[in-house]
Homo-oligomer: A and B are copies of this chain.
Amino acid sequence: MRLLLTLSILSAGFCCAQAVDDSQPPSSNVMGAQYPRISSDLRATFRLRAPDAKTVQVQVGADQKHYDLEKGADGTWTGTTPPLVPGFHYYYFFVDGVQVNDPASHAFYGVSKDSSGIEVPEKGVDYYLPKDVPHGDVRSHWYYSKLTEAWRRCFVYTPPGYDTNVRTRYPVLYLQHGSGEDETGWSIQGHVNFILDNLIAAGKAKPMIVVMDRGYATKAGAPAPAPPVAPPPAAPGVAPAGRGAPGGGGRGGAPSIFEDVVIGELIPMVDATFRTLPDREHRAMAGLSMGGAQTFQITLNHLDKFAYIGGFSGAGGGMGRGTASFDVKTAYNGVFNDAAAFNKRVKLVWVGAGSAELNGIGAGVVSFRDALQKAGIKVAYYESLGTAHEWLTWRRDLNEFAPLLFR
Contacts and interface: CB of A to CB of B under 8 A. Distances in A.
A138 B184 CA distance: 13
A141 B137 contact: yes
A104 B100 contact: no
A53 B96 contact: yes
A225 B31 contact: yes
A151 B27 CA distance: 12
A302 to B, nearest CB: 26
A225 B216 CA distance: 40
B130 A32 contact: no
B32 A112 contact: yes
B98 A101 contact: no
A74 interface: no
Contacts of A122: none
Contact of A95 (B95, B140, B151, B230): B95
Interface string A113-135: 11000000000000000101001
Contact of A251 (B31, B109, B132, B193): B31
Interface string A204-229: 00000000000010000000111110
Contacts of A112: 30-32
A304 interface: no
A139 B142 contact: no
A151 B139 contact: no
Contacts of A104: 113, 228
A96 B54 contact: yes
Interface in A141-156: 141-144, 151, 156
A97 interface: yes
A257 to B, nearest CB: 16
A182 B100 contact: no
Contact of A100 (B54, B98, B135): B98
How many chain A residues sit at the interface, stated as a range, is: 35 or more
A396 B401 CA distance: 46
Given A144-B132, A163-B273, A109 B30 contact: yes
A371 B98 CA distance: 52
Nearest to A105: B114
Contacts of A137: 139-141, 156
B182 A31 contact: yes
Interface string A26-57: 00001111100000000000001111111000
Contact of A98 (B53, B97, B230): B53
A103 B96 contact: no
A367 interface: no
A53 B100 contact: no
B139 A228 contact: no
A33 B52 CA distance: 29
A140 B187 contact: yes
A96 B99 contact: no
A1 interface: no
A324 to B, nearest CB: 29
A374 to B, nearest CB: 39
A109 to B, nearest CB: 7
Contact of A227 (B34, B130, B252): B34
Contacts of A52: 96-98
A73 interface: no
A138 B96 CA distance: 41
Contacts of A12: none
A106 interface: yes
Q: Nearest 5 pairs between A and B by C-beta?
A: A107-B107, A52-B97, A107-B114, A100-B100, A32-B225
